[in-house]
Structure 1
Amino acid sequence: MNKVVIFNKPYNVHSQFRKDHDEMATLADFFDDKSLRVAGRLDKDSEGLLILTDSGELNHALTTPAHKKGKIGKTYLVQVENTPTQIQLDALRAGVPLKDGKTLPAKVKLLDTLPITLWERHPPIRERKSIPTAWLSITIFEGKNRQIRRMTAHVGLPCLRLIRHAVGTCVLGELAVGQSRTLHLNDEQTRRIFGL
Structure 2
Amino acid sequence: MATSSLILFNKPYGVQSQFRDDSNNDHTTLSQYFTDKSLRVAGRLDATSEGLLILTSDGRVNKAITHPPKANHGQKQGKTYLVQVEGIATPEQLIQLEKGVVLKDGKTLPAKVKQVAEIDLPIELWPRNPPIRERKNVPTSWLILTIYEGKNRQVRRMTAHVGLPCLRLIRWSVAGFELGSLGVGEFVRIHLNSERCQQLGITD
Structure 1 length as normaliser, TM-score? 0.94
1:167 to 174, 177, 180: 174
Q: Is 1:120 aligned to residue 124 of structure 2?
A: no
User: Hey, what's the Cα distance between the residues in 1 that align with 2:80 and 2:198?
Assistant: 18
Matches within 5 A, 1:8-23: 8-20=10-22, 23=26
Q: Unaligned regions of 5+ residues in structure 2, if any?
A: none
The one of 75, 78, 82 equivalent to 1:77 is 82
Q: Which runs of 5+ in 1 are unaligned?
A: none
Q: Which residue of 1 aligns with 2:44?
A: 41
Choose which of 144, 149, 154 in structure 1 pairs with 2:156. 149
**Further displaced range: 109-118 or 62-71:** 62-71
Inter-partner Cα distance in structure 2 for 1:138 and 1:67: 22
TM-score by length of 2: 0.90
Moved more, 18-27 or 33-42: 18-27
Q: Give the superposed CA RMSD.
A: 1.6
**What residue identity is the alignment partner of 1:92?**
L
Matched, 1:94 2:99: yes
SS of aligned partner of 2:61: helix
User: Are the aligned partners of 1:72 and 1:195 in contact in 2 as well (CA < 8 Å)?
Assistant: no
Checking the alignment, whether the CA contact within 8 Å between 1:6 and 1:182 is kept in structure 2 is yes
Q: Which amino acid aligns with 1:149?
A: R
Report how many aligned residue pairs link the two structures: 195
Quick one: percent identity of the two aligned structures?
A: 61
Structure 1 range deviating more: 67-76 or 29-38: 67-76
CA distance in 1, matches of 2:201, 2:51: 19
Q: Structure 1 189/68 Cα, relative in aligned 2: closer, same or farther at 3 Å?
A: closer
1:59 aligns with 2:62: yes
Residue 195 (structure 1) shift? 7.5
